[in-house]
Structure formats: structure tokens, C-alpha cells
Amino acid sequence: MTLSEIKVGLVGLGLMGRSIAVSFLLSGHPLVAIAPIRGEKEEAFDRIRDLLREYLNDNKSTQSLDLYMSALTISEDYSDLAQCSLVLECVVEKMNVKEEVYGKIADVVRKNTVIATNTSAIPIGNLQKFVADPERFIGIHWAEPAYNTRFMEIVCGDQTSIEVVEWVYQLAEQWGKEPILLKKNIRGFVTNRLMYASFREALYLAENGLADKEDIDKCFRYDFGSWMTLMGIFRRLDYEGLKDWAIIFRSILPLLDNSDQVPEIMQRMVESNAKGVQNGIGLYPYTEEEAKIWELKFNQFVKEISSLAEAYPADIVEQKLKNNQ
Amino acid sequence: MTLSEIKVGLVGLGLMGRSIAVSFLLSGHPLVAIAPIRGEKEEAFDRIRDLLREYLNDNKSTQSLDLYMSALTISEDYSDLAQCSLVLECVVEKMNVKEEVYGKIADVVRKNTVIATNTSAIPIGNLQKFVADPERFIGIHWAEPAYNTRFMEIVCGDQTSIEVVEWVYQLAEQWGKEPILLKKNIRGFVTNRLMYASFREALYLAENGLADKEDIDKCFRYDFGSWMTLMGIFRRLDYEGLKDWAIIFRSILPLLDNSDQVPEIMQRMVESNAKGVQNGIGLYPYTEEEAKIWELKFNQFVKEISSLAEAYPADIVEQKLKNNQ
């Protein structure tokens, strides 16, 4: 079955939802997108078209924008999802909202339609129990912007069937991702655990005046950043020859922050209604123009880093050996 | 004073030392490099010339390789350091070895010659007490390959004088770095604390069978990697709109590993004399050819990511506003 024969559905058209919509359309799926928030429909349609146009321009594609857009239906009516083989939920991270959405989806789709969530915070097992025929429920966790990043976590719940897992994994590869499969129902996903481990330490250092935010960001950009996209951590340790690591582990680990509380800086942010670049109040301040510059720059950067990542694939050695044959 | 008038010294010509030597030479310093390990001298000379030649070729430089090399003296005699204004120690992370080296340096240089260490593991305060006139002692922490990365941590000990700090900071900027200044004698440096926080979690996940090494590396490469070099952490949180962060912190932090013991996987590595790519025994296995491919690929990658980092500077907004004026 080609992707153009697999109709997919999407519920939720916020920033992430729109970007996932573009990814589905670029992959060739017919797409039904449900805009659950009233009045969101028109804006979402325009924005998806803009993103698609930009992508096609950037990639000097000769494909027609209209052809891609003709595969898209945006609706407020869940019953339009009826013929979908996969429906991805991409709404706010609130259990009760998600529960309601799963009910509405299950009411209209086939019993074997795969229902998936893009959650990055809630354990799949906790959501799975809200879904009729829960063996078809699975986590598909994307990274922004969904049409330009290679990351994808596929997360099973306790009841997810192996057939569903395999089918979604194959789809992910066809979408151009480098999927990661979490067989166990590990809490917190892998990527978030790894990220928040360093976020916690970064916030601790800033909160206690041990380093400035700017300097911490520089560490990430210029030290982590110099190898991260190529290697990941285990490969990096190998590359450095595992030299002196025991000394370093012994001296560093006892210093690290082990708190399980929301860091105070972040607590203060929520009290001041901070939304970062979205309203100019954040860990750094932003004028409206500066916020726009960051959006623009990130969009440019992510394209460049994605091409770079593609030039250095995970199976770099195999590729190289093959080329030499 | 131009850099060509500032003679610098370097003690230790392992991988890192050679790469720092190239950085000093490219910056225009006359350099005296002490090879404390017998028989290391010739190999180090050849390797530094190779690295320099490659750098000049890559950057289509018309500068003469011989001219750069003529600024380099490699010696086994510490007294050749006598005229240096700065001497950087870059030997193995062992207190007693470093103590001996500082004694030999201090015996031959001026009383106001700045003595620095590239340590990434030992607190500067602990090393400072081995140095005669300790106010001139400072940490200058480089990232590999030193001539192609923008990262640099400048770390003060309790006794380091402000004049020394300022002088080294200015030098770092002239070397093309984005220096980070750690005024307090924070243990463990910033970059290592941030890195080892996520290393600890990664090793915990692998050790407990919650995720494969390969998948963890993919998370870093394709999720972290998609924004790290542009943004760092605080900027990233702002960029994501600080949305849902409180939910995520609350759900993730209690799950994280808080051990202060050397992870078992790493313990086993040391027992099997693993040196990663250097002897083929590591977290991943390597044939000799594969090890070479990784070295080659990293050298290529780091050039590409460095140009990318340069195109997106830390003061991206200022730059952009300036261009618009």
C-alpha cells in the first residue's frame, strides 16, 4: 500500500499540529484535520499552505502546491475521520481533554483504526485506558518542525499490539524519520528524560548564581553542539577514548542537582504568565521584532542542521564501507 | 600588543595538546611546546604540521605552512619556556603529575607569567595551591578540536587575580572563541555538569534496559541536535513558549536517576581496558577501519558545524537589528 492510499487523521491544529499536517501531506497521505477550537480552521488552512509553499520553494520542488493542498480537508466534524487508518491526537496536555477527544474519535472510526497521541508528558498507559479497543493505541512523538526533523519516538502502552507497533514503525521510516521504538512503557519517554536531566542542572546553576543563563547557553551551543548531531552520547564517550572518565564521573556526579521539584525560576515564569517568544516574557526578554527574528532564524537553522544530519546518517560506518566496495 | 608579540608555552602534547598548539599557531603566537613524554617530540611535530596543513587547505588559505611552523619550538627542556607570558598545562588528569609540572614551569618562567590548566575534572582551587604566586593561575578549558571549536571555559580559582582573568578573557576573544567566564570557583565546570547530568541519565536508561544505546544516541542526534547549536537551553524553553513545561517538569524530574556512583556500564568498560575508538573496545565495537572512519567523519563534521555556528552567533538579534538599520 502506498502512502497515498492510507488516509490519516489529525486532531488539534496548534503550532505542532500544523507542522505535523505538513509532514503528512508531504509524505503523500490524504489528510483529514479536525480543528477542535472554534475559529481555528481558516487560520490553520492558511498557515499549512504557507509552510508547504515555503518547504517546496526551499527544496526547489516542481510539485504543485495545489495538488498537496487538495489532499487536505480541515473540518470541525469528527465524523469526517470515519475512513482514516490512523488518527493522531495533538491537543493540549490535559488528561480530561484527551479523554474526550479519544471518545469522539472512537465513535466514528473503524475498530481497527490506529489511534495515536503526540503527548510528550503523559504515560501512554494512562491514556490507553480511555480508548475503546486499546491494543490499537500508541504514542507517536514528533519534534518541531515535524516536516523537517528526523526525530520520532514510537511509544507503546502495555496493551499496544505488536502489529500496530510494526505498522507505525514502517510508516515512520517512510516519513523519512529515524524512529526510536520504546517497547516498555517507560515513563517520561527517552528524549525528555535526557533533556530534563540537563535542563534541571542548567536551571540549578542559574538559580544559584553559579553561572549566567547566557554562559550556560553558550556551553550547550559550542560544546555539546560541536558533536551532538553527529554522535550522540555513547559514541562520543567512545570517541574521546573513555579517557579520564572515571575521574570525571566521580568528581561530577556528587555535585549534580537531584531535586524533583519544579525549579524556582520556572515557577516564577508561570506566575508572570511567561510564554517566551510568544508574548515577549521569558527567561530572556523579547520585543515583537526579536521574537520574529528567532522564529525566522530557527526555521533557517533547522533546515541546515537537517541536511547536515542527513549527510551523517546513524549507520555512517556501513554507508562508508559500502561506498568503498 | 599583537598576538605575535605574546609568546605562549604548552606542556603536554597528547591529542588535545596538539590541537591546542594548532590553535595558538593559527592565532599568530610564537609557541614553545614541551613534550614531557620521551619520544613524543617528533610525532607531535609531524601531527601538528598535518593538522595545520589540513586547516589551511580547508580554508583555502594562502598563508604559508612553513611560516606558521617556524613559530613552533618543540622541546623536552622546560627552560625554553622562560620568555613565555602564558604557559598552558595539558597533561594527564592526575594531581601529582600536574603538581610536578607546575613546579618545573614556575622554576623557569617570570613571576608574572600566567600559568593555566586545561583540566576538565579537577577544581582550579585544588591545583592553584601547587603554584608559586597562585594569583596568576587560571583554568582555560578547551573543546576538541581546539582550532575549530568556539567553546572555551575560563575558570578562576579563589586566588586568581582579576587582571589575569581579564587578560585571558581578551586573549580568548582574539583566538575566536565565545568564552564563558566562571567567576566563582564552581566545582566541576559548567559544561561538564550539564553534560554529565544527561550522561548519567543515558547510562541509567541503557543499564536498566529501558532503551538501547543506539536509540538514546538517536534522541540526542535528532532531537537535541535539531536546536542545540542554535539556541542552548534557556532560549529553547522560551522558543517553545514555556508551554506545558510545569506538567513536564513535574512528571519527569521524579523519574530521573540521582546516583552519584560511577555507572556500572562504565565500570565494566574500565575493567576491560576499553579505550573506545583508540583500541576498538568501547560502548560500541570498532574495527580499525571503522575507528578511522569516525575520526575522519568527526573532523569533517566539526568544520561544518563550526561554520554553521558562526552563521548564527550568540548575539543573533543584535546582528540582525544592525543589518536592518
Closest in B242, B306, B309 to A269, CB measured:
B242
Mean pLDDT, rounded, for B135-143? 95
Residue B66: count other Cβ atoms within 10 Å of its Cβ: 8
Distance from CA of B33 to the nearest CA of A (A): 22
- A31 pairs with which residues across the strands? A8, A72
Question: What integer pLDDT is reported at residue B27 of this predicted model?
Answer: 96
**Interface contact flag, B181 A215, Cβ < 8 Å:** yes
Instruction: Answer with the residue of higher pLDDT: A207 or A309.
Output: A207
> If you average pLDDT over each of A13-27, A54-68, B50-64, which comes out highest?
A13-27
**Interface contact flag, A312 B301, Cβ < 8 Å:** yes
**Which residues of A fall within a CB distance of 8 Å from B146?**
none
Percentage of residues in chain B having pLDDT higher than 90? 54
In chain B, whose CA is at the least distance from the CA of A91? B244
Closest in B210, B246, B263 to A184, CB measured:
B210
**Which residues of B fall within a CB distance of 8 Å from A17?**
none
The C-alpha atoms of residue B169 and residue B163 are separated, in whole angstroms, by 10
The C-alpha atoms of residue B204 and residue B183 are separated, in whole angstroms, by 32
A81, A9 contact by CB (below 8 A): yes
A180, A192 contact by CB (below 8 A): no
**A95 near B CB under 8 A:** no
The C-alpha atoms of residue A204 and residue A196 are separated, in whole angstroms, by 12
Residue B112: count other Cβ atoms within 10 Å of its Cβ: 12
- Sheet of B137-142: strands edge to edge? B72-75, B31-34, B8-11, B86-89, B114-117, B137-142, B151-156, B178-182
A324 pLDDT above the threshold of 80: no
A155, A139 contact by CB (below 8 A): yes
CA geometry: angle B156, B160, B162, nearest 5 deg: 95
The C-alpha atoms of residue B321 and residue B305 are separated, in whole angstroms, by 24
Q: Which CATH number fits domain B196-319: 3.40.640.10, 1.10.1040.10, 3.40.50.360, 3.30.360.10?
A: 1.10.1040.10
Residue A66: count other Cβ atoms within 10 Å of its Cβ: 8
Total-model pTM: 0.83
Provide the pairing of β-strand B137-142 with B151-156.
Answer: antiparallel
A154 pLDDT above the threshold of 90: yes
Closest in B239, B286, B308 to A298, CB measured:
B239
Question: What integer pLDDT is reported at residue B182 of this predicted model?
Answer: 84
Q: How many CB pairs under 8 A join A and B?
A: 419
Provide the pairing of β-strand B8-11 with B31-34.
Answer: parallel
The C-alpha atoms of residue B49 and residue B22 are separated, in whole angstroms, by 8
**Interface contact flag, A283 B235, Cβ < 8 Å:** yes
pLDDT band, residue A185 (cuts 50/70/90): low
Give chain A's largest Cα–Cα span. Answer: 61
pLDDT band, residue B257 (cuts 50/70/90): very high
**Residue B113: half-sphere exposure toward Cβ, Cα within 13 Å:** 25
Residue B215: count other Cβ atoms within 10 Å of its Cβ: 21
The C-alpha atoms of residue B220 and residue A94 are separated, in whole angstroms, by 27
User: What are the tens digits of pLDDT across the range A285-304?
Assistant: 899 998 888 888 888 888 88
**Which residues of A fall within a CB distance of 8 Å from B308?**
301, 304-305, 308
Provide the pairing of β-strand B72-75 with B86-89.
Answer: unpaired
In chain A, whose CA is at the least distance from the CA of B248? A121
A85 pLDDT above the threshold of 90: yes
Fold of the B3-182 domain: Rossmann fold (3.40.50)
Mean pLDDT, rounded, for B110-120? 95
Which ipTM score applies to this complex? 0.83
What does the DSSP 8-state code read for residue A278? Answer: G
**A162 near B CB under 8 A:** no
A264-271 vs B245-252: helix crossing angle, rounded to 10: 150
Going by C-alpha positions, the residue among A195, A116, A121 that lies closest to residue A156 is A116
Residue A58: count other Cβ atoms within 10 Å of its Cβ: 12
pLDDT band, residue A322 (cuts 50/70/90): low
The C-alpha atoms of residue B27 and residue A65 are separated, in whole angstroms, by 50
In chain B, whose CA is at the least distance from the CA of A189? B252
pLDDT band, residue A314 (cuts 50/70/90): low
**Interface contact flag, B277 A228, Cβ < 8 Å:** no
**Which residues of A fall within a CB distance of 8 Å from B201?**
193-194, 197
Cell 521524579 -> residue: B254
**Which residues belong to CATH 1.10.1040.10 in chain A?**
196-324
Cell 555538569 -> residue: B193
Distance from CA of B296 to the nearest CA of A (A): 11
**Which residues of B fall within a CB distance of 8 Å from A93?**
244, 247-248
Cell 564517550 -> residue: A237
For an interface test with A, which of B201, B234, B243, B321 has the most A Cβ atoms less than 10 Å from its Cβ? B234
Residue A207: count other Cβ atoms within 10 Å of its Cβ: 15
DSSP A212-235: -HHHHHHHHHHTGGGTHHHHHHHH
**Interface contact flag, A233 B202, Cβ < 8 Å:** yes
**Which residues belong to CATH 3.40.50.720 in chain A?**
3-182
Residue A157: count other Cβ atoms within 10 Å of its Cβ: 20
The C-alpha atoms of residue A186 and residue A123 are separated, in whole angstroms, by 8
Cell readout for B287 is: 574495527
B198, A233 contact by CB (below 8 A): yes
Closest in B216, B226, B289 to A190, CB measured:
B216
pLDDT band, residue A241 (cuts 50/70/90): confident
Distance from CA of A212 to the nearest CA of B (A): 9
**Residue A132: helix, strand or coil by DSSP?**
coil
B176, B310 contact by CB (below 8 A): no
Distance from CA of B134 to the nearest CA of A (A): 22
- The superfamily in CATH containing domain A196-324 is N-(1-d-carboxylethyl)-l-norvaline Dehydrogenase; domain 2 (1.10.1040.10)
A184 pLDDT above the threshold of 70: no
- Tell which A residues from 258 to 287 touch B, by Cβ distance under 8 Å: 258-263, 266-267, 269-270, 274-278, 282-284, 286
The C-alpha atoms of residue A18 and residue A24 are separated, in whole angstroms, by 10
Closest in A144, A194, A256 to B219, CB measured:
A194
A250, B261 contact by CB (below 8 A): no
**Interface contact flag, B276 A238, Cβ < 8 Å:** yes
What are the start-end ranges of the H helices in chain A? 15-26, 41-58, 65-70, 95-108, 124-128, 162-174, 190-207, 213-222, 228-239, 245-252, 264-271, 288-311, 316-324
Distance from CA of B26 to the nearest CA of A (A): 19
**Interface contact flag, B246 A262, Cβ < 8 Å:** yes
**Which residues of B fall within a CB distance of 8 Å from A252?**
121, 188, 192-193, 196
Residue B135: count other Cβ atoms within 10 Å of its Cβ: 17
Closest in A143, A213, A248 to B192, CB measured:
A248
The C-alpha atoms of residue A211 and residue A195 are separated, in whole angstroms, by 19
**A217 near B CB under 8 A:** yes
A32, A80 contact by CB (below 8 A): yes
**Interface contact flag, B197 A192, Cβ < 8 Å:** no
**Interface contact flag, B228 A244, Cβ < 8 Å:** no
Going by C-alpha positions, the residue among A190, A254, A264 that lies closest to residue B256 is A190
The C-alpha atoms of residue B277 and residue B271 are separated, in whole angstroms, by 16
User: What are the tens digits of pLDDT across the range A88-139?
Assistant: 999 998 999 999 999 999 999 999 999 999 998 788 999 999 999 999 999 9
**Which residues of B fall within a CB distance of 8 Å from A218?**
151, 178, 180, 232, 314
**B292 near A CB under 8 A:** no
H/E element, A279: none
**Interface contact flag, A278 B201, Cβ < 8 Å:** no
Long-range contacts of B20-23 (CB under 8 A, 24+ apart): B20/B88, B20/B90, B20/B118, B20/B142, B20/B146, B20/B147, B21/B48, B21/B72, B22/B48, B22/B51, B22/B52, B22/B55, B22/B145, B22/B146, B22/B147, B23/B142, B23/B146, B23/B147, B23/B175
Residue A26 CA: distances (Å) to CA of A20, A22, A65, A68, A214: 10, 6, 10, 7, 37
- Tell which A residues from 69 to 88 touch B, by Cβ distance under 8 Å: none
DSSP B235-264: HHHHHTTTTTHHHHHHHHGGGS----SPPH
**Which residues belong to CATH 1.10.1040.10 in chain B?**
196-319
Kindly calculate the radius of gyration of chain A based on its CA atoms and give it in whole angstroms. 21
User: What are the tens digits of pLDDT across the range B55-73?
Assistant: 999 888 888 999 999 999 9
